Amino acid sequence: MTQPVRAGSAEPAALPTALIVAGPTTSGKSALALAIAERFGGTVINADAMQCYRELRVITARPTPEDEARAPHALYGVLPAAQPGHVAWWREAALAEMARSPLPILCGGTGMYLRALTQGLSALPEVAEEARAEARSLLAELGPAGLHARLHAEDAGLRPSDSQRIARAYEVWRSTGRSLVSWQREAPALPPAPYRFRAILIDPPREALRRAIEERWAAMMTGGAVEEVAELLRQGLDPALPAMRAHGVPELAAMLRGEIPEAEASRRAIANTAAYTKRQATWFRHQALVEPRSAHRIDARIAGLEQFSERNNPELFAFLHEAVDAPQHGS
């Protein structure tokens, strides 16, 4: 069932429209974004931090070559695993792709990437190389919880398990003497992107997501995930790199090293992904990407494109027609 959200809000009429399709992993974002792109003539632009990596097509469930042939796609598999992506890089790349599309459709579950477009991006300092090296060394030695304990008190809100953000907070503090949170509280260095954003937020029940995670994992295991991770490991990359922490990679890496059997690797990967989808869903419920009138919620998983019809889902289509058919660029 869909739940349109409406409230008044003023915005410049001349801005072009950009559509966001967001929600937790396995909620059906990619299928919905593709259907919208085909129906309304848009480009699906990746807003998932892990689907940016070239080597991780299977393990991150990137769109298939067949899907990519049905409508334009951008920013999928564009970075080598050895090159860490980050929010400022993604924002700049996304804006370049958006400028080339009559209807940009930003699809993904990395909330901070999407928020960097809709709300702007805070100024963050350059960090010293020695501080970055120290953070990685301590992360390897102490683990994320141990490094978290060394952070400035203002950074206490970071999750002790979020190794990437903890390392980033530590290197910022060592380089500047100020906490990451204090930098982020400053006015955005980059303003909100000049678009009229409309968002479709998919929020299925947890049980539906859990079943979908289990089904997707089984398909990955028969579809080349083990071979993909083995090839990644042959590069000898730093285990702290984001690509090395994509869901399923640490678990299959441990299996390939002979540390755990396949059944345990699968159990851990499914459990870790399920925990992540819970955090994603909570984030999207409490972090407004757009004004309430500009959002449309769907409380069921998009399991098949047969759901994408005006007869089956008139509220969604009314929302899409309002977003896509509204005057743009002052026309």
pLDDT in tens, 121-167: 888 777 877 888 888 888 888 988 888 888 877 787 788 888 888 98
C-alpha closest to that of 97 among 74, 78, 114 = 74
**Same topology for domains 2-122+189-325 and 129-186, yes or no?**
no
Looking at domain 2-122+189-325, its CATH class is alpha beta
First vs last Cα of the chain: how many Å apart?
A: 34
For the chain, which residues make up each domain, given as ranges?
Answer: 2-122+189-325, 129-186
The residues, ordered by sequence, that sit 6+ positions from 215 with a Cβ below 8 Å of its Cβ are none
The reply to whether 27 sits in an annotated binding site is yes
* Whether the Cβ atoms of residue 160 and residue 151 lie closer than 8 Å to each other: no
Fold of 129-186: Histone, subunit A (1.10.20)
Fill in the DSSP letter of residue 265.
Answer: H
Helix (H) or strand (E) holding 104: strand 104-108
Spatial separation of the C-alpha atoms in residues 176 and 113, rounded to whole Å: 24
pLDDT at 12 over 60: no
Query: Which of 43-47, 80-84, 185-189 shows the lowest per-residue confidence on average (mean pLDDT)?
Result: 185-189
The reply to whether 28 sits in an annotated binding site is yes
The reply to whether 109 sits in an annotated binding site is no
The reply to whether 309 sits in an annotated binding site is no
pTM (2 d.p.): 0.83
The residues, ordered by sequence, that sit 6+ positions from 76 with a Cβ below 8 Å of its Cβ are 46, 51, 52, 62, 63, 68
The reply to whether 60 sits in an annotated binding site is no
The reply to whether 42 sits in an annotated binding site is no
